[in-house]
Amino acid sequence: MIGKPITIQDIGNPESTGYIPLEQFTKIINQAIGNEIPFGGVMGWKIDNDIDGIWGKTMEKTLSGKSLSVEV
């Protein structure tokens, strides 16, 4: 399971790390899938901040192996 903040505002402390932009996050997931690295899925921290549903839709398509161009 990979858990990441949905938006940069979700990290709380600006000195904290952990936020990965959506486009980069999908590349990481696609690399893991391509290299057959097993993982249980993804979790969005503060998912209620995915107001337009883009993060969730992108994760769904990425995990199902469908290509998607990310528009953020």
**8 A C-beta contact, residue 5 and residue 22:** no
Specify the residue for token string 């996050």.
25
Query: Residue 27 has what pLDDT?
Result: 93
Query: Residue 72 has what pLDDT?
Result: 47
Q: Note down pLDDT in tens along the chain; length 72 residues.
A: 677 788 877 777 767 777 888 999 999 999 988 999 887 888 888 888 899 999 999 999 998 876 545 554
Q: Which residues contact 11 (CB under 8 A, 6 or more apart)?
A: 5, 17, 18, 19
Picking from 23, 20, 2, 24, the residue whose alpha carbon sits closest to that of residue 11 is 20
Query: Residue 1 has what pLDDT?
Result: 66
For the chain, domain boundaries: 2-7+19-63
**Residue 45 CA: distances (Å) to CA of 2, 3, 5, 10, 69:** 10, 6, 4, 7, 22
